[in-house]
Amino acid sequence: MALSNSMLKVWAVRTAAACSFGALLFGVASAQSLKELRVRDAEEAALDREVAYTQSVCGSSIDASIDWRSAANWPDDVSLTLSCDGALGALEAFCRTGDGKSRAQKITRFVCAGDGAGASLRGGTLRYGATPGGNGFVDTKALIDSAL
């Protein structure tokens, strides 16, 4: 069966598009080293464990993520998750107070960032921009106490 010119053109365009997409995926995948991928996996697993504990203390469901773009210059030898843990500890301390547990239900998302911006609360998202060696407990607790 012979292919018409129009069928050949369609095939050529689809093949070129598929090759371009494959090259793009390969470029993105190879941009990160295996070591970087392992570090990210370990940090995300650690954050999941920390947030699971916070959820158990607060009796709520909290989605958590790491803002990796903000952590582009984060030092290799410092755990980003541990630097954000004080912010989660502040939320846990708030949940242990009087009506704190019920008021904390407003927080449904936690973002750990590496930009040094400190604590912020927008809508249901608590974001903590960590600094290497910091923990954010005091600042985050003050924010939560005043905002909730």
* Angle of the 80-95 helix axis to the 137-147 helix axis, nearest 10: 40
Q: Is the pLDDT of residue 75 over 60?
A: yes
Per-residue pLDDT at 19 = 46
Domain ranges, ordered by start, for the chain: 1-31, 33-147
**Axis crossing angle, helix 34-58 with helix 80-95, rounded to the nearest 10:** 10
Phi–psi pair at 114, nearest 5 degrees: -115, 35
Given a contact cutoff of 8 angstroms between Cβ atoms, the answer to whether 80 and 69 are in contact is no
* Euclidean distance between the first and the last CA atom of the chain, given in angstroms as a whole number: 72
Asked if the model's pLDDT at residue 25 lies above 70, the reply is no
Cβ neighbours of 52 (radius 10 Å): 11
pTM reported for the whole predicted model:
0.78
Read off the pLDDT of residues 84-103 as tens digits, 9 standing for 90 and up: 999 999 999 999 999 999 99
What's the pLDDT at 10?
45
